[in-house]
Amino acid sequence: MHRRIVAILCVAAVTLPLAGCAPGAESPPGGARAVTPAPAALTWADAGPYELTEGTRIIVDGDAGTAPDLLADLLREATGHPVPVVDASTDGTVAAADADDIAITVDPEASAPVPEPAPAAGTGRDEAYALETGADGVELTARSAAGAFLGTQSLRQLLPAAIERPGADAPDGGWTVPAASVADRPRFAYRGAMLDVARHFFPVEGVERYLDALALLKVNVLHLHLTDDQGWRIAIDGWPELTGIGASTSVGGDGGGSYSAEDYRRIVAYAAARHITIVPEIDLPGHTNAALSAYPELNPGGVAPPPYEGFEVGFSSLSAAPEEAEATNRFLADVLTQVAALTPGPWLHVGGDESHATSEEDYLDLVGRITATAAATGKTVMGWHELGASGDLPEGTIGQYWNFVEPEAEPEELAHSIVDQGGRLVLSPADVAYLDMKYVDDPPSPQGRRVGLEWAKGATTLDEAYSWEPTEILPGVDEAAILGIEAPLWTETLRDIDEVEFMAFPRIVAIAEIAWSPRPAGGERDHDGFFDRVALLGQRWDETGTAYHPVGGVPWVG
């Protein structure tokens, strides 16, 4: 069968150096559909499409986790069809699947067409999958539940955009999927977004909405910046004023808020169902005014400052003095141990950035105590690149690089220090990956306000967000030392989740694709193809009600 032959050729390219097959840039015959981030290999077949009908079943063989049920919910809500989820081992066999069925197979031993993990992404996770669609049905195969979930996100994008809307009218031509073969795997293991819930607080429902939109882009980490000068957002047993006084306000005095342990567990569970890992950040030893305002005994001299509603950074610090050592050590142990216990993921982020009010000696002392306490929880310690000032980091520490695509000397040195100590990096170059930088045309937000900052080399265009190569930022830091990529979204100027989405979309698509898709052959990214695919995502955001800015240069459809 023609479609199979194409698939085999494609997989051959996948197992070679991963440059060969056409990425998802081109549309199939007869309609604009694409997969974003661009898959490692995607080939449109010159064959009839798959059609989802009243009789469609999802037939599951193996442990596919949440993927079948989440897919069934999406399909049922849009189409009104029953879409039962059927276990292959009791109710039939995958071989007996009908042409309108979707067969999901998870087999830890699966080989081609499921590609092997990429070298940099192969540490502990296997997110590869293969997807075959056409008139004979849909077959999704993976070695893990995560791979199956990621494959369903590709399938979702191959259906008409109306599939995103509950109660949608069936499109002309029906609920079809073009005939295609996808053999896909991520380039990097860590494909992250960060949300600053400290400068402004966002209730659980808003975070869940953001998680939904991130899952579609195969983002698999949400880093929550839980504490800063303007707010402490997570309840800690034995320290009630952290979420009392410490959570009472935000930037601009826009009101406070915090997550109870139960709220946080809800976020973790919602993310986990979408194969997204939560990375909690407790920013230490600077960025601590909220904690310092709540507990005088954490302050040098034992005097608490008032809560803070401004923008400036770098004025607060935990005390390193012996007089406050008992309180500070108890605080660190209670906070880091409790947050670690609430967090199933492997990483615990301890901040470490911009501690301009901490002397160098105190910084090294405090970072030593903080990272040792964090490591004692059993988590892998993560922190901003400033942690590299310490030569005594716990084994495997992850540094988050937030300087520019063309690094300044000191951040470059600090990042190298982390790698030289056996750590790895997550790259968040601020001039391309910071979603809180303004758009060039400085559009009004959904609330009619001018939002965003400009400190990282001014506004950031979609093209700039898409124009960088992770291995070219820090000479000597190669792919193996890069755990992944993250797009932070700081919220000094953002008051609600609509404004968050408005800044994130579409630029986060560029970051998600750099993290997922193979390094382009010859090093040149296909900007036109990318912009075309972003336009197709825009149709989906229209259906889901996700806020985005229709930046220039993208052939938006709606």
Residues designated as active site: 354
Which are the contacts of 416, defined by CB distance < 8 A and separation ≥ 6? 388, 474, 476, 477
Per-residue binding letters, 422-451, with ligand TNX (x by CB under 6 A): ------------x-x---------------
Smallest separation (angstroms) from ligand TNX to the CB of 403: 9
CB atoms inside a 10 Å sphere around CB 521:
11
Alpha-carbon dihedral of residues 93, 96, 101, 107, nearest 10 degrees? 40
Helix (DSSP H) and strand (DSSP E) numbers for the chain: 15, 19
353 binds ligand TNX (CB under 6 A): yes
Smallest separation (angstroms) from ligand TNX to the CB of 453: 5
Nearer to ligand TNX, 490 or 516 (CB): 490
541 binds ligand TNX (CB under 6 A): no
Smallest separation (angstroms) from ligand TNX to the CB of 544: 27
The answer to whether residues 393 and 424 touch, using CB atoms and an 8 Å cutoff, is: no
Nearer to ligand TNX, 312 or 360 (CB): 312
Give the residue, chosen from 402, 502, 505, 541, that forms a contact with ligand TNX under the rule CB under 6 A: 402
Please list every residue from 489 through 518 that binds ligand TNX, using CB under 6 A: 490, 492
Smallest separation (angstroms) from ligand TNX to the CB of 88: 48
The answer to whether residues 463 and 553 touch, using CB atoms and an 8 Å cutoff, is: yes
Nearer to ligand TNX, 434 or 541 (CB): 434
459 binds ligand TNX (CB under 6 A): no
Q: How far is residue 233's CA from residue 224's CA, in Å, rounded to a whole number?
A: 10
Nearest to 282 by CA among 324, 246, 307, 310: 246
Which 8-state DSSP code applies to residue 204? H
453 binds ligand TNX (CB under 6 A): yes
Q: How far is residue 237's CA from residue 336's CA, in Å, rounded to a whole number?
A: 12
Tell me the number of residues near ligand TNX by CB under 6 A.
Answer: 10
The answer to whether residues 447 and 519 touch, using CB atoms and an 8 Å cutoff, is: no
The answer to whether residues 148 and 273 touch, using CB atoms and an 8 Å cutoff, is: no
Nearer to ligand TNX, 143 or 495 (CB): 495
Nearer to ligand TNX, 202 or 384 (CB): 384
Strand intervals (E) in 264-335: 277-284
Smallest separation (angstroms) from ligand TNX to the CB of 492: 6
Nearer to ligand TNX, 101 or 492 (CB): 492
Smallest separation (angstroms) from ligand TNX to the CB of 353: 4
The answer to whether residues 68 and 121 touch, using CB atoms and an 8 Å cutoff, is: no
CB atoms inside a 10 Å sphere around CB 123:
12
The answer to whether residues 207 and 267 touch, using CB atoms and an 8 Å cutoff, is: yes
354 binds ligand TNX (CB under 6 A): yes
CA-to-CA separations, 453 to 390, 416, 468, 475, in angstroms, rounded? 30, 28, 21, 29
Please list every residue from 308 through 347 that binds ligand TNX, using CB under 6 A: 313
Chain contacts with ligand TNX (rule: CB under 6 A): 313, 353-354, 384, 402, 434, 436, 453, 490, 492
